[in-house]
Amino acid sequence: MSDTTQQNPEEQQPQADPVFTLHMAAMREMQEPRDGIAPTPVSYIICCFLALLAGGWYMGYYGGEWTANGLSERPIAGIPPTAPPQDPMVLGKEVFGACIQCHQESGLGVAGTYPPLARSEYVLGDKRRLVAILLKGINGELVVDGKVYNSQMPAWEIREDEEIAAVLTYIRASWGNKADPVPISLVTAVRKETAGKGEWRSAALDEFAATAPAAPAAPATPAATETPAAAPVK
């Protein structure tokens, strides 16, 4: 008599997972990877070469001189245009914006500290002395209109001659001041004269104002030569 508990051999084998079976079939159909290097198309190499050539030409033509002004526009052939001269009153008012904190917008200054510019003998007086003050600055006590002021004014040597002449022209014609303008040539001359000097003190400034540079001697006039008389015609 056979054992009734003995199972069928087919029933003892494990059943395969249908999802795994499906994936195995799909993987068999996939293309296997191949080793090797595909050659670069010649057309791509030519395009890269042309792009590098165009970039090099552009940088060489528009690169300027590799200086701070290298990216400026190229000048047009012919006579370079000249900018019209600036109005010294307009430029001077703009430059005076750096002086408002001390001398105030009204030009009256601050009592005991910063002297006034309105009706000041230093502003309306010797222009050479006024230029020297602005170029080198001044420190210590200064008597203006009978009042003592004690402060320090920094040097303005970093400013251009045109700016210094313009701001001095502006303060000499503002707040009721009526004085002639300061020429740029005077600023240039005083800058050369005071080269190497430090900031002014009141006594040194008065001494500078009292010793004006000697005027250049006039060129000698050549003596007139007599023209020999023409010989009489016989």
The pLDDT tens digits for 120-141 are 999 999 999 999 999 999 998 8
Residue 108 in any domain: the answer is yes
The pLDDT confidence band at residue 108, using thresholds 50, 70 and 90, is very high
Q: Is 5 domain-assigned? A: no
Whole-model pTM?
Answer: 0.58
Give the bridge partners for 150, in sequence order: 141
Q: Let me know if residue 224 belongs to a domain.
A: no
Core vs surface per residue 163-183: b (16+ CB within 10 A) or e: bbbbbbbbbbbbbebeeebbb
Residue 1 has pLDDT above 50, yes or no: no
Between the alpha carbon of residue 151 and those of residues 100, 105, 106, 113, 138, the distances in Å are 15, 18, 19, 5, 8
Asked if the structure places residue 155 within a domain, the reply is: yes
Task: Write out the residue range of the structural domain in which residue 204 sits.
Answer: 88-210
Number of domains in the chain: 1
Please report whether residue 29 resides in a domain: no
- What CATH number corresponds to the domain at position 101? 1.10.760.10
Is the pLDDT assigned to residue 234 strictly greater than 70?
A: no
Residue 57 lies in a domain: no
pLDDT score, position 133 = 93
202-227 mean pLDDT = 67
